Amino acid sequence: MSKSSKKIIKNSLEDLKAQNTTFLDISKLNSFTDNLVITSGTSSRHMSAIKDRLIEDLKKNKISISGVEGQDSADWILLDLGDYVVNIMSLDSRKLYDLESLWDPSLN
């Protein structure tokens, strides 16, 4: 994937008003993905709408989705795109798991 993939993800999230979106380059920290995207929805319906729109936009642009976890979850939905892993989280789950601090060494 390329910068255009990042732009597609970013635009999809912005269009549906996902909150506090963060892109982290974690390529030097692991072998399963290069980029981690963390964003929040205000409710389970909002999170589901974000997921549906993102999947639709990715398919339109022929970007493959390796897997989706937590589709019916009210707390955390994960989309594995290979080079990007997108985490759509409730505000409470995001605070609880604090993925930014876990994956961004500069925050520790």
Q: Which residues contact 62 (CB under 8 A, 6 or more apart)?
A: none
Q: Which residues contact 49 (CB under 8 A, 6 or more apart)?
A: 16, 41
pLDDT digits (tens, 9 = 90+) for 49-72: 999 999 999 999 999 999 999 988
> In this structure, what DSSP letter does residue 43 have?
S
Specify the CATH number of the domain 3-97. Answer: 3.30.460.10
Q: Among candidates 35, 79, 24, which has minimal Cα distance to 55? A: 79
pLDDT digits (tens, 9 = 90+) for 5-44: 999 999 999 999 999 999 998 888 888 888 999 999 999 9
> In this structure, what DSSP letter does residue 107 have?
G
The DSSP bridge pattern shows strands 35-41 and 76-80 to be unpaired
